[in-house]
Chain A
Amino acid sequence: MAIVQAKYDSAEALIAANPAPGGVKWAIQAQAAAQARLREMGAPHRRDEYWKYTNPARLVAEIAQPAALFKADEERPFAEVDRLRLVFRDGVFDPEDSDPLELAGVEIEPLADVLQKDIHWAAMHYGQLEANGQNPVPRPMAALNTACANTGFVIRVTGKAAKPVSMVYLHRNETSDITIRHLIRLEEGTDFTLLENGPAAARLNKVMEVDIADGATFNHVRAQGRDHERQAATHMFARLGKESSFKSFTLTINGVLTRNEAVIEFTGDDAHATVAGACAGDGDFLHDDTVFITHDAVNCESRQVFKKVLRNGATGVFQGKILVQPGAQRTDGYQISQALLLDDDSTFLAKPELEIYADDVACSHGSTCGAIDETALFYLTSRGIPRTQAQDMLTLAFLGEAIDEIEDDAIADDIHARLEGWMERRHG
């Protein structure tokens, strides 16, 4: 009983500390509805089944734990990619430092402006995917996000985007505690790539809703920033129409606590979704990938590919579920989560789940956890490659299987280089 009460008290405290920004009528209604959802479900608590492996205390604490700023400034992220750059400083959009919000095939508006518009397509969509995604498992941090977000972008893709949009989230204040929200809608047959980079803040609550109409293609690559003490709870809600495609990759290096949830629903036939992640953690690091994929259409394919390299007491968590609804025949669901433990102090906790209500379905899942392969290591060293270099090669190769899920080669190379950097820094 005490636990239950604590969840509700904590939800109240979160609502009080994060007041709704308001706006026009639909915005106020969406925020109020989200507050009501949060009140009903309560804040996450470590006794919750869904938070069994990851203690949410730091995410819901009234005052965010400060995070020291990372000294070495991130080398210009995705520098080799022609992109539209949008820069945030501790969650505040910085138009001075950003490219103009103009891109062929894409309409981009700041969320704060949109919340003030009586007539806008977003009125029908804002918070919808988040609300749908609350079943069967509640995601209180996402409801909180809808209730209080005032920063982020509302993006409508109307054609083939001329180039990727790259969001750069700078962290400049050690105590920043922020909320970012993006709402993205891809119209039929359109094509859009979103890049995201950086820690954003000491503590970040980020939600992205992506509604992908028939035949549209969405690619997403993000890197979460190297600040060691940063904390983040992020959610990605996606709905896929007929013959659409969704591919998302996340690189996480450092960060004391990261919970990334992906909630994906197939509503049209013959669509494809990939969620992939590579993470490298050294020391006080917990990284949690929580994925929920619902197949509610025929002949759709989903892939989950998660790779984690852990050392010095780092913890990796994976909770991945594939739910195949009645009638979702010819579903192809693939899920793999693997951890490479570079020492005996690190931990990997995995909970793969399949729930299938259709008969013509091919679903597979695998989860492994192990040390570096000594046989492979001997083979490499016997050719004259020093042991540490050989270990790095095998570690990169391991993570490479997740990076391979990235569609664009230049972007994949960028991610590769960052992991190489991570390994080099380990050797001081």
Chain B
Amino acid sequence: MLKINDLRVALKEEDKQILKGVNLEVGAGEVHAVMGPNGSGKSTLSYVLSGKGGYQVTSGNATLEGADILDLEPEERAAAGLFLAFQYPVEIPGVGNMTFLRTAVNAQRKSRGEPELSAAEFLKEVRAKAKSLKIDAEMLKRPVNVGFSGGEKKRNEILQMAMLEPKMCILDETDSGLDVDAMKLVAEGVNALRSDGRSFLVITHYQRLLDHIKPDVVHIMAGGKIIKTGGPDLALEVETNGYADLLAEVA
């Protein structure tokens, strides 16, 4: 599904290398977790994959289902099936959440040559999906993320993911700032989307999210590289021992 090959990324504005050779391969239907200390480049990786400006790819590449994505515009990557649940969802005053969702869904359908959803079809679908994430009608009407609590913002990300039905979902610290109940809700939302054709890259600080979203593979990222890859046990190891030992191992 997603293949990242020796990806090296620097900031455009200043001479600073952030990703220093990331290698990662997520197979179809798999769930991979990426853990690592703050500042190790996890968010940068998710931004570079989804096409945020300000970064310079100095070498390496990334493919989605075999096709290079790093030269595509963000909207083209989205249409190709990539989705990023933001660590910090963006507030957009003046744009209604519902309008935003419908515009996004229909833009993607259009770019894939599919007919647009009618207002009624869209409404039916969004209501059902919002309900299972405990997102009420009021939240759908409000401007995108404006005045949402931390938990509401994260649930809103999952709602977007559910509506857009991407192939490759990247979740950047979707669990941070959530209480246990909210985290369960989010995890249920993610699990409901798991399927053979859909893969997940779950970036997290804590093992606890992985109790709910069971990963197939766990990667540890530090200093802009994947320093260790293993099974679900690796997450437990980090939970008990912290990153110090792992960092010492590679140093």
Partner of A384 from the list B52, B94, B164 (CB cut-off 8 Å) is: B164
B94 nearest CB neighbor, chain A only: A397
Which residues on A sit within 8 Å (CB–CB) of B148?
A: none
B169 to chain A, nearest CB (A): 12
* Known pairs A378-B74, A382-B51, A383-B164; A389 contacts B107 (CB<8 A): yes
CA distance A216 to B95 in the complex (A): 34
* Known pairs A379-B92, A400-B94; A387 contacts B75 (CB<8 A): yes
* Known pairs A385-B104, A387-B75; A380 contacts B52 (CB<8 A): no
* A interface, over-half SS: helix
A374 nearest CB neighbor, chain B only: B53
Q: Does B160 contact A (CB under 8 A)?
A: yes
A240 to chain B, nearest CB (A): 29
Which residues on A sit within 8 Å (CB–CB) of B100?
A: 380, 383, 393
Interface size class of A (residues with CB under 8 A): 20 to 34
Does A376 lie within 8 Å of B73, measured CB to CB? no
Which residues on A sit within 8 Å (CB–CB) of B103?
A: 385, 389, 393
Q: Does B251 contact A (CB under 8 A)?
A: no
B166 nearest CB neighbor, chain A only: A384
Q: Does A375 contact B (CB under 8 A)?
A: yes
Does A397 lie within 8 Å of B75, measured CB to CB? no
Partner of B111 from the list A380, A384, A400 (CB cut-off 8 Å) is: A384
Query: How many residues of chain B are within 8 Å of chain A by beta carbon?
Result: 30
* Known pairs A383-B164, A384-B79; A396 contacts B90 (CB<8 A): no
B144 to chain A, nearest CB (A): 8
Number of A-B contacts (CB under 8 A): 77
Q: Does B93 contact A (CB under 8 A)?
A: yes
Does A397 lie within 8 Å of B84, measured CB to CB? no
* Known pairs A375-B90, A389-B103; A381 contacts B75 (CB<8 A): yes
Q: Does A394 contact B (CB under 8 A)?
A: yes
Which residues on A sit within 8 Å (CB–CB) of B174?
A: none
CA distance A397 to B143 in the complex (A): 10
Which residues on A sit within 8 Å (CB–CB) of B107?
A: 383-386, 389
B95 nearest CB neighbor, chain A only: A397
CA distance A385 to B102 in the complex (A): 10
A390 to chain B, nearest CB (A): 8
The B10-37 residues at the A interface (CB cut-off 8 A) are: none
Q: Does B108 contact A (CB under 8 A)?
A: yes
Considering residues B79, B83, B103, which has the most beta carbons from chain A within 10 angstroms of its beta carbon? B103
List 20 interface pairs A-B (beta carbons < 8 Å), by A numbering.
Answer: A378-B51, A379-B86, A379-B92, A379-B144, A380-B95, A382-B50, A382-B75, A382-B84, A383-B75, A383-B100, A383-B107, A383-B160, A383-B164, A384-B104, A384-B108, A384-B111, A386-B107, A394-B92, A397-B95, A398-B94
- A-to-B contact residues, CB < 8 Å: 374-376, 378-387, 389-390, 393-394, 396-398, 400-401
- B-to-A contact residues, CB < 8 Å: 50-53, 73-75, 77-79, 83-84, 86, 89-90, 92-95, 99-100, 103-104, 107-108, 111, 143-144, 160, 164
| 17 further contact pairs, Cβ within 8 A, besides A379-B86, A383-B108 | A374-B53, A375-B90, A376-B90, A380-B104, A382-B52, A382-B74, A383-B75, A383-B78, A384-B108, A386-B107, A387-B75, A389-B103, A390-B75, A394-B94, A397-B93, A397-B95, A401-B93
